[in-house]
Structure 1
Amino acid sequence: MTDDIRNAGPRRVGQVKEITSLANPIIKDIKALSNKKDREETGTFMAEGLKLVIDALELGWNIRTLVYSKAAKGKPLVEQVAAKTVAKGGLVLEVSEKVLSAITRRDNPQMVVGIFEQRWKPLADLKPGRDDTFVALDRVRDPGNLGTIIRTADAAGASGVILVGECTDPFSLETVRATMGSVFAVPVVRCTAEDFLAWQKKSGAQVVATHLAGAVDYRMVDYAKKPVVLLMGNEQSGLPENLAGAADRTVRIPQQGRADSLNLAVATAVMLFEARRHLLSLDGAK
């Protein structure tokens, strides 16, 4: 929450529309963004919270609508964000807490919500560099898992997340919340399994897949010899044979106790930080 918005100074915000009715058509359209179909048709999604909105604007995301509660009126950062929204041609709405609760589906909503244009990175544009680490997720279904993985990928310095097959929507409200703003910082790609396999062959990256039948301990792989893609399977069924069979290395995360598997987000975090540790060790040796 810095620089561009913090230092913008006080501004008088014009073009603010006040809405108190849930029947307002603009509010109905925003509420409809809880449905994947409406998000896809409009190419937009909702982000809740002033920090997330500021982060998105500072990273250059296009804002369509800013919604804030009456209680937030007059707060300097809110007014600065509103002014920036207007300058970008967006709509600014001042609404009652009842309306904001209906939009966010929360009893105690955050005071600010932004409606942004979705941003997808084409698979063909992914050209892994020497120090790049990517996460590829096969048919991830749980919004909380996906959001946590995107947040963890950001924290670990990964270069992007690839969604393979029918995955949950990274722009659902639940997923965006779980990313804690990292959805704005981490490039997201979506593709079919066939497209992923074709890209893998010419990417120059090493694909390391986790699999219950993996013969190699995940700590025994050299993650630093070339760019790496960490391939993680579906929460229930794991990786299908076509993806697992095409991986350069198939590994397991050894476990003790009665649990026979890890949560997908936890397993991905373990893999990510192991891969990044190898790169940091390599950098330290130079």
Structure 2
Amino acid sequence: MSGRTVTSLTNPTVKAVRALHQRKTRDETGLFVAEGLKNVTEGVETGHAPEILLYGRDAADHPLLQAAAQATHEAGGEVIEVTAEILAKVSRRDNPQAVVGVFPQVFTPLTALQPRLAKAWVALHRVRDPGNLGTIIRTADAAGCGGVVLVGECCDPYSVEAVRATMGSIFAVPIARAGEAEFAAWRRDWPGSVVGTLLSAEVDHRSADYVHPALILMGNEQQGLPPDMAGLCDVNVKIPMRGRADSLNLSVATGVMIYAAS
């Protein structure tokens, strides 16, 4: 497998990849880090070639790595063999993955989404936790949702933590971003139901009349849906709590709603 070998932690490429843990650097470069051969392979198989591919010697002979390296070369990217120490520094983990890819971020314009291509879609208002966001993207992929719309100031779907939680689905699910006013204007032409979740709602999530395509609008972890966002919904529903807990984790609640609506 052709490519160069790097052993120094001060190598400029290594430092550039490490810097992608910072949102400012990701925003400036439009790049992100995907760790692990599974994630990198998901990217390659969905048509996303790495700009930089780092790998440890132990992974060199794996056919999936060789396919990723070929895709990287064909796209004009760099393939670099690195030490375990470099992989640990790049991933900031004691037990790093043997393969790390650097990919371009992809955001789909809100106006380019085609609602009728899927039964269910997800919109998240000011989601704060990257683990929740990544898990929701993975669940949306598993359930065949059309995409995920991030409304207002949300955490970064291309942070290392969010990408880890997607388990490769970051490459498969269209992601759009919108301010509150832009989302409200776009929502007016939504051809199906817009459904929110509220603790104060009276309609059970299992008995709501979902008109496909259903757009599931979820609030953030601390405050849920604020009144202006709840007001954009055709119906607000509740997921019943049967124990002492008064609410579900956001990613779990979104998963429940995705399958109820689809």
Please report the TM-score for the alignment, with normalisation by the length of structure 1.
Answer: 0.89
Distance 2:117 2:67 in 1: 40
Structure 2 unaligned regions, length at least 5: none
Shift of 1:130: 6.7
Which residue matches 2:17?
30
Amino acid at match of 2:257: M
> Among residues 211, 218, 222, which one is paired with 1:236 in the alignment?
222
**1:158-173 to 2 correspondences below 5 Å:** 158-173=145-160
Note the alpha carbon deviations across 1:201-237, whole angstroms, 9 max, x for none: 01223110001111211111122x3311001011001
Question: How many equivalent pairs are there?
Answer: 262
Distance 1:70 1:127 in 2: 43
**Relative to 1, partners in 2 of residues 1:47 and 1:202: Cα closer, same or farther, differing over 3 Å?**
same
Which residue matches 1:8?
none
Please state if 1:251 is matched with 2:237.
yes
Which residue matches 1:151?
138
Instruction: Report the identity percentage.
Output: 52
Amino acid at match of 1:188: I
Which residue matches 1:209?
196
Which residue matches 1:7?
none
Which residue matches 1:275?
261
Distance 2:105 2:6 in 1: 25
> Among residues 99, 106, 110, which one is paired with 1:119 in the alignment?
106
**1:46-61 to 2 correspondences below 5 Å:** 46-61=33-48
Distance 1:222 1:148 in 2: 26
CA contact (8 A) 2:49 2:68 kept: no
Distance 2:117 2:50 in 1: 34
Shift of 1:240: 1.1
Structure 1 unaligned regions, length at least 5: 1-12, 277-286
**1:5-44 to 2 correspondences below 5 Å:** 13-14=1-2, 16-44=3-31
Distance 2:87 2:117 in 1: 46
Shift of 1:128: 1.0
Distance 2:16 2:167 in 1: 24
Amino acid at match of 2:241: Q
Distance 2:206 2:222 in 1: 24
Which residue matches 1:282?
none
Shift of 1:110: 1.0
Q: 3-state DSSP class of the match of 1:202?
A: coil
**Relative to 1, partners in 2 of residues 1:222 and 1:106: Cα closer, same or farther, differing over 3 Å?**
same
Which residue matches 2:124?
137
CA contact (8 A) 1:56 1:184 kept: yes
Distance 1:178 1:74 in 2: 27
**Relative to 1, partners in 2 of residues 1:85 and 1:131: Cα closer, same or farther, differing over 3 Å?**
closer
**Relative to 1, partners in 2 of residues 1:64 and 1:130: Cα closer, same or farther, differing over 3 Å?**
closer
Distance 2:78 2:25 in 1: 19
Please state if 1:227 is matched with 2:213.
yes
Distance 1:97 1:226 in 2: 49
Q: 3-state DSSP class of the match of 1:255?
A: coil
Note the alpha carbon deviations across 1:222-269, whole angstroms, 9 max, x for none: 22x331100101100111111101210011111112111110011001
Shift of 1:95: 0.3
Please report the TM-score for the alignment, with normalisation by the length of structure 2.
Answer: 0.97
Which residue matches 1:103?
90
Shift of 1:76: 3.1
Query: Which structure shows the bigger proportion of residues in helix conformation?
Result: 1
Q: Post-superposition, which runs of at least 4 consecutive aligned residues in structure 1 deviate over 4 A?
A: none
Shift of 1:131: 4.3
Which residue matches 1:10?
none
Distance 1:32 1:130 in 2: 37
Which residue matches 2:167?
180
Shift of 1:80: 2.8
Please state if 1:63 is matched with 2:50.
yes
